[in-house]
């Protein structure tokens, strides 16, 4: 009985510089989003009402998505883009609340309300970039596999 040679599975689209750059950009944007959301959550903890659970959930979900993206899992990229769209809406709605709280008579959070308004405003462009880069990365077909035999030295052609 003849032995089956070991088949080597390669992912040619992951070796492309554009794929590595897109992956890196998505990771940086996810981490930046987590940092910005953490600043708003921690800095505004004393005055946040029902948004605490949502913000903590967003932070945890973005961390999990970043872990999957770091492992070249492209399936979470559309989820990241969809969550980013919702976060843009939340941030746009929250900015006037932070600005209004800067007036006299309102309880001040740990961070000044004006600072929290600026940080919340920074979330919007970061999310727009995340949407764009996540969709660009999704279209790069990180999941394409090419089989080759161990004695084959030629590089596989990407699909």
Specify the length of the chain in residues.
Answer: 159
Among 28, 12, 6, 1, CA closest to 145: 12
- Can you tell me the distance from the alpha carbon of 84 to that of 26, in angstroms, rounded to the nearest whole number? 12
**Neighbouring C-beta atoms of residue 50, cutoff 10 Å:** 6
Indicate if the pLDDT at residue 2 is higher than 60: no
Please provide the average confidence, as pLDDT, over all residues in the chain.
Answer: 87
pLDDT per residue as tens digits for the range 95-118: 998 888 877 777 888 888 889 999
């Amino acid at each position: 009985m003849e032995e089956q040679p070991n088949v080597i599975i390669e992912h040619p689209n992951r070796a492309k510089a554009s794929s590595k750059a897109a992956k890196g950009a998505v990771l940086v944007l996810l981490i930046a989003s987590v940092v910005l959301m953490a600043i708003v959550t921690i800095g505004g903890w004393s005055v946040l009402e029902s948004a605490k659970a949502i913000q903590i959930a967003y932070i945890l979900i973005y961390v999990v998505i970043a872990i999957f993206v770091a492992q070249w899992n492209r399936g979470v990229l559309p989820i990241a883009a969809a969550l980013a769209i919702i976060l843009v809406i939340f941030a746009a709605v929250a900015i006037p609340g932070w600005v209004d709280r800067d007036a006299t008579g309102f309880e001040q959070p740990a961070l000044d309300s004006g600072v929290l308004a600026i940080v919340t405003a920074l979330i919007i462009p970061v999310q727009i970039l995340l949407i764009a880069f996540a969709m660009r990365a999704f279209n790069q077909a990180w999941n394409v596999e090419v089989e080759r035999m161990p004695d084959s030295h030629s590089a596989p052609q990407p699909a």
